[in-house]
Chains A and B, each alone.
Chain A
Amino acid sequence: MTQQQVLDLYFLDARHKLVELAAFLDRVERAEGSADFRLQAFRQALNELASPDRQRAQRVLLAFSDPTAAPIARAPGKGACGAYPGPDHAQGTSR
């Protein structure tokens, strides 16, 4: 496909998702209390969107990933929460 064809097919969808991201950040900041490691990982991943380099999707996924190599002693639960909390914060909030 040409870049024009890609834009014709996907621009409105991508624009919609971008506005949703902006509204999500506004919503979090408008709320009371404090955020956690997930927002930090989210902001780190957002930086990848502005990068001029390709493979942005891969780098966004890496920004949320557990970078360690060794198996953990015991599964803390069954779910995953979408962002790596660090070695001292076992998580598991969703499937």
Chain B
Amino acid sequence: MKYIEPHAHMVSRVTDDYERMALAGCQAVCEPAFWAGFDRSSPAGFYDYFGQLTEHEPKRAAKSGLKHFCWLCINSKEAEDLKLAEEVIALVPQFLARPNVLGIGEIGLNKNSRNELRVFEMQMDLAARQDQLILVHTPHLEDKLKGTRLILDAFKSDRRIQPGRVIIDHVEEHTVEMVLDAGHWAGLTLYPETKCSPARAIDILETYRCERLWLNSACDWGVSDPLAVPKTAQEMKRRGHLTAAIEQVVYHNPGKFLSQSPHFRNAFSL
């Protein structure tokens, strides 16, 4: 079955993963900028990373027949240093015209600190000024509820932000409803231990039956599964979901949101 992987950190994965994703039916992979597992020592580290996301990684994906898109930002785990954040944010605009860039992301919160929120608002402003889509990371575990509320409040306070152009990722049972009620898209992340299992993600899909939901693996350098989306599609099949309904969730839903980006529309036909 064809699907789109709308959130995967492929710089942390081996080339075999691209091959396996292509074999499983993946048509396109989208890669938000994120934390490398260690703090970069200077803005130059981010400059090189943005180059990797916009030049090198699309070529690696293309060898497996996959379209590669990306999102750019400074992530919330490196947002405590305001000076660094300001310098990195100043680098972003020069990359936004590159043909695989979808927008600003994954911005968000991690520990819900004042500086994280300040940097989130700075990047929200950048997205609004540059008319960019936004992909949001919500915090982990005990911090998710509070962080999601802070993020929703920030969007609500900025009239330039159109909720339908924002995907808020890593929602779970206690946050999905508030995100959808605010008019945003919501991402269900299939990640061991700390996020959703396939069974729980399908429970949420069955409960909300909303076209503003997508599934993603968020595979990265941690224990994670780049095939989590097709495996969940298989689980939906076991539950009796029709092929068209599954394809709607794993292909057409992300395609609809991402098609708001001219770069996506130019390079990918649904």
Knowing A65-B145, A65-B146, A83-B142, the reply to whether A72 touches B174 (Cβ < 8 A) is: no
- Does A61 reach chain B (CB closer than 8 Å)? yes
Knowing A72-B112, A75-B111, the reply to whether A62 touches B150 (Cβ < 8 A) is: no
Min CB–CB distance A15 → chain B (angstroms): 14
Whether B173 lies near A76 (C-beta < 8 A) is no
- Does B140 reach chain A (CB closer than 8 Å)? yes
Closest to B80 in A: A75
Q: A57 — which chain B residues lie within 8 A by C-beta? A: 172-173, 200, 203
Among B80, B110, B200, the one with the most A-chain Cβ atoms within 10 Å of its Cβ is: B110
Q: Binary interface profile of A, 19-53, with partner B (CB < 8 Å = 1, else 0)?
A: 00000000000000000000000000000000000
Min CB–CB distance A37 → chain B (angstroms): 10
- Does A12 reach chain B (CB closer than 8 Å)? no
Binds A, one of B97-105, B114-122, B124-132, B258-266: B114-122
Whether A78 lies near B173 (C-beta < 8 A) is no
Whether B115 lies near A74 (C-beta < 8 A) is yes
Whether A69 lies near B149 (C-beta < 8 A) is yes
Whether B145 lies near A80 (C-beta < 8 A) is no
Q: B222 — which chain A residues lie within 8 A by C-beta? A: 95
Whether A62 lies near B174 (C-beta < 8 A) is yes
Interface residues on B, range: 20 to 34
Closest to B176 in A: A58
- Does B210 reach chain A (CB closer than 8 Å)? no
Contact of A61 among B114, B174, B203, B239 (CB under 8 A): B174
Whether A62 lies near B114 (C-beta < 8 A) is no
- Docked CA distance A62–B177 (Å): 14
Tally the A-B contacts, defined by beta carbons under 8 Å: 85
Interface size on A, residues (CB 8 A): 31
Q: B112 — which chain A residues lie within 8 A by C-beta? A: 66, 71-72
Min CB–CB distance B3 → chain A (angstroms): 22
- Docked CA distance A34–B190 (Å): 34
Q: A92 — which chain B residues lie within 8 A by C-beta? A: 111
Whether B173 lies near A75 (C-beta < 8 A) is no
Knowing A62-B174, A74-B114, the reply to whether A95 touches B142 (Cβ < 8 A) is: no
Closest to B148 in A: A65
Q: Binary interface profile of B, 183-204, with partner A (CB < 8 Å = 1, else 0)?
A: 0000000000010000110010
- Does A3 reach chain B (CB closer than 8 Å)? no
- State the 9 A-B residue pairs at the shortest beta-carbon distance, nearest first: A75-B111, A65-B145, A80-B141, A80-B140, A58-B173, A61-B174, A75-B113, A57-B173, A84-B142
Which residues on B are within 8 Å of A, measured CB to CB? Answer: 35, 77, 80, 110-117, 139-146, 149-150, 172-174, 194, 199-200, 203, 222, 238-240
New contact pairs (5) apart from A64-B142, A65-B146, A71-B116, CB-CB < 8 Å: A9-B238, A61-B173, A69-B149, A73-B114, A80-B142
